Amino acid sequence: MADELGGRVARHAVVIGGSLAGLLAARVLAEHAERVTVVERDRFPEGQEARPGVPQGRHLHVLIAGGQQALDELLPGFMAELGELGAPKVGVPEDMVQWQNGQWFRRTPATAHFYTGPRPQLEWLVRQRVLADPRIELVEGTETVGLTGDSSRVRGVRLRERGAGADKETRTLEADLVVDASGRSTKAADWLAGIGAEAPHEETLDTGLAYATRVYRSPADVPGTDAIGYYVVPSPDQVYGGVVLPLGDGRHLVTLSGLRGDEPPTDEGAFEDYAKRLPHPVVSDWLARAEPDSPVYGFRKTSNIRRRYDRPGRRPAGFLATGDALCAFNPIYGQGMAVAALTAVALRRALTDPKRTPTTRQVQRALLDASKQAWDISAGADKKMPGATGDAARPGPADKAVGWYLRRVQERAAGDPVVGAPFRAALTLTAPLTALFAPSVARAVLFGPVHGTPAEPPLSRN
């Protein structure tokens, strides 16, 4: 069969991009191919520093529970090792002072945990674990500039050394399978056009959300709270976001967010003023007592983008997309790393399906399915944001009824653990969205009262 993933990936697989999605895909492919080559444009730093190819790495990254489980499945013992490196573990709602939809969350016992800490630390640990596998080779400082083959089958990639001018010759690396993990700005559409194939349709939804992030040291005598962090969640009625979370080394990362036309500034003086737009001074007060320890970094590429490789089109066998190159999310929901890991788990399951040798299209569909819940959450919420643009921003037939129900879920999630626990499980990708419609939850959502929530930020647990 022309489209079959020959011999379940066969001799040589090439992965474009050595960040989380690429490394985790390589980890899985090494179980099937004779050898795997990861081609990365950057040269990796020795330690746990940020790097140019992952500019979002300077911004707040949390690893939600669905991602933790998937990482442990792919790299046994991973979460324990991350904890040993010092990544703080935060229980929700217990450990956070959280404001959302006009309410402070009650700090009831945690039903979900996320890990925070520097994103480069997490990526470094994944890199150490994955590249220890002798079946995986790394080609650093090298950019993929195209594919070889034709519209029916990919035969390899064209590479150019980084820093070499556009006129510098390229070399070819042959492969039976090529996986695009080059992130949300992938050039796959051009690469496919270059071999006579069709680019996938790009479904988009852009709220114009922008981040600005700065590291702070908080003096030991800061009065205040037994909480580990603060989180002011944006919503259609209140579009500003603010998060303060520990890095695990005595410092905190502070991310502020706002929408198109009123983005948070990267100007050092103006950053702290911007925090005053949040609906409560709790973040601003914290900042007034803390010491800045870095410049302010901005980030504006936050649209939801889903590349519909599952739809018909003239596309070659032996080419897959994963991670942000397949489906990128508004980062405010904290899903992308988790989905990169869940997608690698889906890749493993598709390739080990005992019932059939899968085609490229079947595997690609399995990878897209692994991102569906995160997309539904992210795009579903972003549709309601003022000024959202893109074809996925158009209302669907069920939006009104679902929106009505979810508003009731949110009103109750802050004060009622019966609703809050499944709400968090769905958001952290450990339970399906249908968990919100289970009988006990539906009863509380449809007929139960809205429980009281604290009038002021709950700075202590009781």
Q: Does 60 bind ligand FAD (CB under 6 A)?
A: yes
Q: Which single residue is written with the structure tokens 């500003």? A: 240
Q: How far is the CB of 386 from ligand FAD (least distance, A)?
A: 20
Q: How far is the CB of 48 from ligand FAD (least distance, A)?
A: 15
Q: How far is the CB of 38 from ligand FAD (least distance, A)?
A: 9
Q: How far is the CB of 405 from ligand FAD (least distance, A)?
A: 26
Q: Are 2 and 360 a contacting pair, CB within 8 Å?
A: no
Q: Which single residue is written with the structure tokens 């070819």? A: 172
Site for ligand FAD in 179-198 (CB under 6 A): 181-183
Q: What is the DSSP string of 398-461?
A: THHHHHHHHHHHHHHHTT-HHHHHHHHHHHTTSS-GGGGGSHHHHHHHHHS------SS---S-
Q: Are 216 and 292 a contacting pair, CB within 8 Å?
A: yes
Q: Does 137 bind ligand FAD (CB under 6 A)?
A: no
Buried b (16+ CB within 10 A) or exposed e, 191-201: bbeebebeebe
Q: Between 70 and 290, name the residue whose CB sits nearer to ligand FAD.
A: 70
Please tell me whether residue 105 adopts helix, strand or coil conformation.
Answer: coil
Q: Between 18 and 149, name the residue whose CB sits nearer to ligand FAD.
A: 18
Site string for ligand FAD, 246-285 (x = CB under 6 A): ----------------------------------------
Among 115, 299, 319, 375, binds ligand FAD (CB under 6 A): 299
Q: Does 144 bind ligand FAD (CB under 6 A)?
A: yes
Q: Does 146 bind ligand FAD (CB under 6 A)?
A: no
* Residue range at the interface with ligand FAD (CB under 6 A); choices 290-298, 331-339, 357-365, 421-429: 331-339
Q: How far is CA 1 from the centre of its chain?
A: 35
Q: How far is the CB of 233 from ligand FAD (least distance, A)?
A: 13
**Tokens in use for 248?**
């695990």
Q: What is the DSSP string of 273-312?
A: HHGGGSSSTHHHHHHHHSEE-S--EEE----EEEEETTS-
Q: Does 324 bind ligand FAD (CB under 6 A)?
A: yes
Site for ligand FAD in 332-351 (CB under 6 A): 334-338, 340
First to last CA, the chain: 64
User: Which residue type occupies 426?
Assistant: A
Site for ligand FAD in 220-249 (CB under 6 A): none
- Residues that contact ligand FAD, how many (by CB under 6 A): 36
* Residue range at the interface with ligand FAD (CB under 6 A); choices 37-45, 129-137, 282-290, 441-449: 37-45
- Which residues are paired to 205 by β-bridges? 304
Q: Does 53 bind ligand FAD (CB under 6 A)?
A: yes
Q: Nearest Cα to 210, choosing from 268, 274, 283, 139?
A: 274
**Torsion region of 460: left, alpha or beta (phi above 0 gives left; psi -120 to 50 gives alpha):** beta
Q: Does 50 bind ligand FAD (CB under 6 A)?
A: no
Among 62, 256, 346, 374, binds ligand FAD (CB under 6 A): 62
State the Cα angle at 286 between 284 and 287, rounded to 5°. 65
Q: What is the DSSP string of 117-142?
A: S-HHHHHHHHHHHHHTSTTEEEE-SE
* Residue range at the interface with ligand FAD (CB under 6 A); choices 29-37, 259-267, 288-296, 330-338: 330-338
Among 12, 29, 40, 103, binds ligand FAD (CB under 6 A): 40
Q: Nearest Cα to 33, choosing from 150, 165, 176, 168?
A: 176
Q: Between 59 and 106, name the residue whose CB sits nearer to ligand FAD.
A: 59
Q: How far is the CB of 181 from ligand FAD (least distance, A)?
A: 5
- Distance CA(305)–CA(300), nearest Å, equals 14
Q: Does 39 bind ligand FAD (CB under 6 A)?
A: yes
Q: Does 17 bind ligand FAD (CB under 6 A)?
A: yes
Residues lying near ligand FAD in the complex (CB under 6 A):
16-22, 39-42, 53-54, 56, 59-62, 67, 143-144, 181-183, 211, 299, 323-325, 331, 334-338, 340
